[in-house]
């Protein structure tokens, strides 16, 4: 039996926490939540499942107007020197630091994250601001040797245009900052359609950025938020004035977004599903591996794109290690994410719970054994909230259900005998975001890094918990985009190759003669 908390906050306590967080960001809950169900977006906390009101949604017309204002702002913003653009991002980072607790409270209320995880998400925003400020002085091109005498050949980078951002509920603010901080220093306006399941967090983050623009004496039309559901996001996909659409979400969503934007020759940056795996080799430090596996698999109630969903353990240690994982799962405290010692908060809603139950039923039908978890808790106290026990399922192999990503805390465990077999199992799914190996064998570590086909591959650390300094993204059905770190800024700019002739002659390349 998994330990669980027995007391959840009252609806009034949730409302007061929300009100306080918004006020810290300069916003008023009553003003935001004054819309109606007929034309608004439902504001709800998964902690209690009760509503906080309705926010007035954008229409197709108001969304198009915001895109138009962003495009008009681009003409001036692109001419602002990049280091000056960086000052806006620098001020945004300072405001995020000052109001970290306020914004983190909103993330907890809407995404159900523990305060530690919520604060960590806001810290990611602060970190990317620091990276982007430095990048504002390093939007460098290359000078190349020309084959023609007295010619200079170079590559330069220029602002791209309006960047549309679509984000998901599980990280309601960090991916926005990953894209926005870099887009702004690159000279691009931003139009953001946040998840309607985490709108208040988005409005808080946007309010702080708007304040940074104002304090730096720059136009606030460089940044806009669209409030609404799918129909509002579709405006970003179809409007030719949006040069890049950066979308975070499911593979299903990506299959719609990619072709739709490509049909008008727009660019996309897609961060989609992750069916992430870890390998535990016989030489692994099992204590370290246990901590890495449990956090990656059960943290955030399994609702991270980098959540560990598949675990391959060498058959010589599998029984003992799996017993330790199950024992650790039985100590996890479930409940109010703000409660002392709580490690697992709620699922986002009924749909996530139903998907988890369907996946567990399929796993059993395909020969799996549920070793622990899967049940709903705190239902009597909060019938509209969905708290579940994280599940561990021993599978006879990587069956059909194991190939699917279920956005819930289910960990499928499969034995392996040969290390190359484990790498093949790691790669044998359509998703390709994150993977890990736990081993003390240098040969195995290097073979894994060379052989894993994921965009993120780790040694002796779990699949979740990426740093801003490294590019974040995956391969295959995960989408292929990269956000934050290294050269990701180039996605927000257009590249040009320039040749300057100062010879007084007109030699042609490749020795071609014309006149």
Helical (H) or strand (E) element with 458:
strand 456-459
- Confidence bin at 5 (pLDDT 50/70/90): low
Please tell me the distance from the alpha carbon of residue 415 to that of residue 280, in angstroms, as a whole number.
10
Whole-number Å distance between alpha carbons of 110 and 43: 9
Mean pLDDT of 412-440: 98
271 is catalytic: yes
Q: Percentage of the chain with pLDDT > 90?
A: 95
Residue 1: pLDDT band with limits 50, 70, 90: very low
What's the mean pLDDT when you consider all of the chain? Answer: 96
Whether pTM exceeds 0.85: yes
Could you say which of 271, 405, 444, 477 is catalytic? 271
Report the first-to-last Cα separation within the chain, whole angstroms: 87
Domains assigned to the chain: 11-272 (3.40.605.10), 276-459 (3.40.309.10)
Among 124, 305, 477, 483, the one annotated catalytic: 305
Average pLDDT, integer, range 281-286: 98
Burial letters for 78-97: b for 16+ Cβ neighbours within 10 Å, e otherwise?
A: bebebeebbbbbbbbbebbe
Q: Is 76 annotated as catalytic?
A: no
What is the chain's alpha carbon radius of gyration, rounded to the nearest angstrom? 24
For residue 291, how far is the Cα from the chain centroid?
Answer: 23
Digit-coded pLDDT (tens) for 252-271: 999 999 999 999 999 999 99
Q: What is the pLDDT of residue 134?
A: 97
Place of tokens 């059960």: 298
Q: What are the tokens at 345? A: 């908060």
Q: According to the 3-state scheme, what is the secondary structure of 281-306?
A: CCCCCHHHHHHHHHHHHHHHHHCCCC
Q: pLDDT tens digits for 110-166?
A: 999 999 999 999 999 999 999 999 999 999 999 999 999 999 999 999 999 999 999
Task: Give the chain's length.
Answer: 515
pLDDT digits (tens, 9 = 90+) for 339-377: 999 999 999 999 999 999 999 999 999 999 999 999 999
């Amino acid at each position: 039996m998994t330990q669980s908390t027995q007391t959840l906050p009252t609806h009034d306590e949730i409302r007061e926490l929300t009100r306080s967080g918004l006020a810290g960001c300069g916003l008023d809950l009553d003003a935001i939540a004054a819309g109606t169900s007929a034309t608004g977006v439902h504001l709800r906390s998964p902690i209690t499942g009760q509503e906080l009101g309705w926010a007035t949604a954008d229409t197709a017309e108001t969304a198009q107007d915001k895109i138009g204002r962003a495009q008009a702002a681009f003409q001036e913003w692109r001419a602002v020197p990049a280091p000056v653009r960086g000052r806006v991002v620098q001020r945004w980072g300072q405001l995020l630091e000052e109001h970290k607790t306020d914004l983190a409270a909103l993330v907890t209320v809407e995404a159900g994250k523990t305060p530690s995880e919520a604060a960590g998400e806001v810290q990611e925003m602060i970190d990317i601001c620091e990276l982007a400020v430095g990048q504002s002085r390093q939007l460098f091109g290359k000078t190349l040797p020309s084959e023609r005498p007295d010619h200079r050949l170079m590559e330069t980078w220029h602002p791209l245009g309006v960047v549309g951002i679509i984000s998901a509920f599980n990280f309601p603010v960090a991916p926005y900052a990953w894209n926005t901080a870099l887009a702004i220093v690159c000279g691009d306006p931003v139009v953001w359609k946040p998840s309607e399941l985490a709108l208040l967090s988005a409005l808080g983050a946007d309010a702080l950025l708007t304040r940074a623009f104002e304090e730096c004496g720059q136009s606030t039309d460089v940044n806009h938020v669209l409030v609404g559901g799918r129909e509002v996001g579709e405006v970003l996909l179809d409007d030719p004035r949006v040069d890049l659409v950066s979308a975070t979400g499911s593979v299903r969503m990506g299959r719609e977004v990619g072709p739709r934007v490509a049909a008008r020759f727009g660019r996309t940056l897609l961060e989609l599903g992750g069916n992430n795996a870890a390998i535990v080799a016989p030489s692994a430090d099992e204590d370290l591996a246990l901590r890495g596996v449990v956090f990656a698999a059960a943290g955030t109630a399994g609702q991270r794109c980098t959540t560990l969903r598949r675990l391959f353990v060498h058959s010589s240690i599998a029984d003992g290690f799996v017993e330790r994982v199950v024992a650790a799962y039985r100590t996890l405290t479930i409940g109010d994410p703000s409660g002392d010692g709580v490690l697992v908060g709620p699922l986002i809603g009924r749909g996530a719970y139903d998907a988890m139950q369907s996946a567990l039923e399929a796993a059993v039908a395909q020969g799996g054994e549920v070793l622990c978890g899967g049940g709903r808790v705190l239902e009597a106290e909060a019938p509209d909230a969905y708290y579940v026990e994280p599940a561990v399922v021993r599978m006879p192999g990587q069956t059909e259900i194991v190939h699917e990503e279920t956005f819930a805390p289910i960990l499928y465990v499969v034995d392996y005998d040969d290390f190359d077999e484990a790498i093949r199992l790691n790669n044998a799914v359509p998703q390709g975001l994150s993977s890990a190996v736990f081993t003390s064998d240098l040969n195995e570590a290097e073979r894994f890094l060379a052989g894993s086909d994921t965009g993120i591959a780790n040694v002796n650390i779990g699949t979740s918990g990426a740093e801003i300094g490294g590019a974040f993204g995956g391969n295959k059905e995960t989408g292929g985009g990269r956000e934050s770190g290294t050269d990701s800024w180039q996605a927000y700019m257009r590249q040009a190759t320039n040749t300057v002739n100062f010879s007084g002659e007109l030699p042609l390349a490749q020795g071609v003669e014309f006149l």
